Chain A
Amino acid sequence: MSRRVAICATAQIKNEPDIWYQRFQGMLFDCFESIVSQTGVTFDMETGIRNVVTCSDDVFDARTISDNGMTDVVGAHFRGEEKTAQDGINGIGYAMASILSGHDDIILLIGHCKESQPESRHMCTNLAFDPFYCRPLGLDFLNASAFQARAYMEASGITDEHLARVVVRSRQMAAKNPFARKNEMVTEEAVMKSPMISDPIRELHAYPVTDWAAGLLLCCEERVHEFTDNPVWVTGFGSCMDSYFLGDRDLTDNFALEKAAARAYRMAGITEPKNAFDVVELNDPYAYQLPMWAEGAGLVERGEAGRWIEKGGLEANHVNTSGGMLNGNPVMLGGLARALEAVHQLRGEAGDRQVEGAKRALAHGTTGAAGQHHAALILEK
């Protein structure tokens, strides 16, 4: 691969508990208009965007072929549109491939999810399980994660105290992020007293219901100058699928993340991930996942994440300066939100939470129960 792919612009609306006043089309259109005005990109058949990659989910939208409701507001009238039906960070990987293939010069990636719409997000994720064995048991992404949380905490020595620290820090960081969901500040004590919703996951260990939309403009190297003088380069992408049945997996072994990360690191030429990144954004819908994924991504030795947190590793490694998914991003978009924060940091646009001189970032996304599918994305200035 001789050519490189750049991210030229990002746009997002604020994460909110319930965007009752706007349909998802409106949320997307706000992002769309922002990207067009930032870059001046057009939809000219020769020089403009010919393909849009969207990210949404039919179940959460309660709409078959959910992308047919947005073709017009994302500019795909008589242009191409392809929907990623998994975490939006995979859409970046797919857009990257589409550009490297030579088929497209420019791709608009845009995604949304309104978690506030369903009566229960757990009813939705229960539908991700097969209708014969697992669905009747009531498995959903929360209680499946609880199995993993228990197993991982046993294996790694991560305690309720560690998790409380993760949650408190998430909210502190999010308070500096103007796009983050506005949550109350909490103390470690309050986290440890918060109600158990699926043992050992407490209410404050779980990401809150959130609505959000975001977009990115990706472009081939030759044409970056047309759209920005501050590009961020996509230098590595990797993903991996784990087994389906929870009982077939060692829930503590980070199989899929290790493989996904290794693939992305290889593409980006990274051999020593521990010191490779100035910014790390890990997708943590549940608090225990932040230390677990840090181990899986090779940032910390296996079993060392507890001590790493105690020694201030989250701060030292600039992990989840955005506040993380734990502070509130909707399902499907956790990884996309991580990538957006990494882009902000690398462009030097992260405001009060800016990591000075950030040159290289890792952004990570998960899809499915207890991280069945992982994706890792390397971004560089």
Chain B
Amino acid sequence: MGYRKKNRHVGIVGVGETKFSSHREDVNQAEMIHEAVRQALDDANLTMDAVDCVVHGNMELFEMIHQPDLWHTLGSGSYGKEAFRLTTGGTTGGTLACSGDNLAASGMYDVVMAIGFEKLQEGHTTGGITNMADPLWARKLQSGALTDSTAVKLIEEFGADRARRAAMTYRIIMDKHACLNPNSHRAFGLEWDQMDELMETSPPLIGDLRLIHMCSQSDGACVVIFASEEKAREITDTPVWVRDHITVHREETLNLCNNYYPTDTTHRFAAEKLYERNGITDPLEYFDVFEMYDPSAWWGTDWLKEFFLLAGDAHLKLVEDKEIMIDGKMPINPSGGVIAANPIGATALVRVAEAAKQIRGDAGPHQIQKPVNHALASAFGGTMWTVLTMLEKELNW
């Protein structure tokens, strides 16, 4: 038996996001989470009484809190509720969305609240990420999430000038989107005529990866409320339906033995499987928006090829022709994406929340002007892991 029909459909009925910032010193973790919970409940016009189950996720060692959902009960509203805690690194937010879908579809819970958060100011993010590497084999080689292997790959493939320009074009587009999003942590107001200067002067981190290419470390929380079809229709006139999701991990030891991908990337593998089982033959045509977990401009540029199953330089052309801009053919990250804000445990859930808002049509200043019916959100984490979530405006598949 292959992939089966869902027990029942699930809709997103409320979303909440805090303002993302390098430091939220005005609130503690539980208070920061409470901001997003409050917003999501208000958005859905619900109180905690309606919520059956709360799912919480982040990385313990970023803030050095063991089982933080216990303390965060003060702000998460989980008191008296069923409560799960699921964490998978950078993909945590994607996993939370999967769990919201699974738990509400199961029939065990009608309304599920997923909470992703991180307060990276309170720890040492690069130290924390480095600490994920195997202490015997890899930790001394790990430099947090910083790597220039993708830059090397793109430069080998397309030449230094074209690759560097594409990555910087991607970066400026993301900044232009970030400037439209009031929640952005970083929105610089970069202009196109700064491109050459930025490629020279932005401080290099590793090889061709420069500071300007890389995501921030942010404080913030995101909450998404999922409900069964029946409940979703009661709660809101504009539920956003979760059509499908897929998680693909890969083992880390192969990474050590082989610096380049020995097979497909998890991004491509996940995308192929997801499209195949949902009958999507041309993802570039099908989707109206893609919220990508793009930790750096190099990765974002390169991964377009994987997620849309492209070949040759089609992904570079999408960037060069600015088709990924908010008014382009395939808008990528109208929110500004991960380079604009990266509270890691929340980041991937923000992608889902932003995709849902685009479908509802109430994203605010960064709303895509064309109708948005089909949205894709990705998560990235661990040792090259992928979670993809597909959202739909109409329940008609």
Contacts and interface: CB of A to CB of B under 8 A. Distances in A.
Interface of A: 1, 3, 45-47, 51, 57-59, 62-65, 67-69, 71-72, 76-86, 90, 93-94, 96-103, 105, 124-132, 222-223, 237-245, 255, 259-260, 263, 267, 367-369, 372-373
A98 B84 contact: no
A83 B86 contact: yes
Contacts of B83: 239-241, 373
Nearest to B139: A63
B68 to A, nearest CB: 8
Top 6 nearest A-B pairs (CB, nearest first) are: A72-B251, A80-B247, A101-B105, A65-B89, A97-B106, A100-B106
A82 B86 contact: yes
Interface string B1-44: 11111110000000000000000000010100000000000000
B126 to A, nearest CB: 11
Contacts of B95: 82-83
Interface string B239-256: 000000111111111100
B88 A81 contact: yes
Contacts of A367: 67, 70
B1 A47 contact: yes
Contacts, number: 225
B70 A58 contact: no
A59 B382 CA distance: 17
B interface SS class: mixed
23 contacts: A1-B108, A3-B7, A59-B61, A59-B66, A65-B132, A76-B249, A78-B266, A79-B248, A80-B246, A82-B247, A85-B60, A85-B87, A97-B106, A98-B106, A101-B6, A103-B101, A127-B66, A222-B1, A237-B108, A240-B81, A244-B72, A245-B74, A267-B108
Interface in B75-133: 78-89, 95, 98-99, 101-103, 105-109, 128-129, 131-132
Nearest to B123: A64
Given A63-B135, A128-B67, 14 more contacts: A46-B1, A58-B59, A68-B252, A83-B86, A84-B84, A84-B86, A86-B67, A94-B99, A100-B105, A103-B245, A105-B4, A128-B70, A240-B83, A241-B83
A260 B52 CA distance: 12
Contacts of A372: 70, 73
A105 B7 CA distance: 12
Nearest to A52: B249
A145 to B, nearest CB: 14
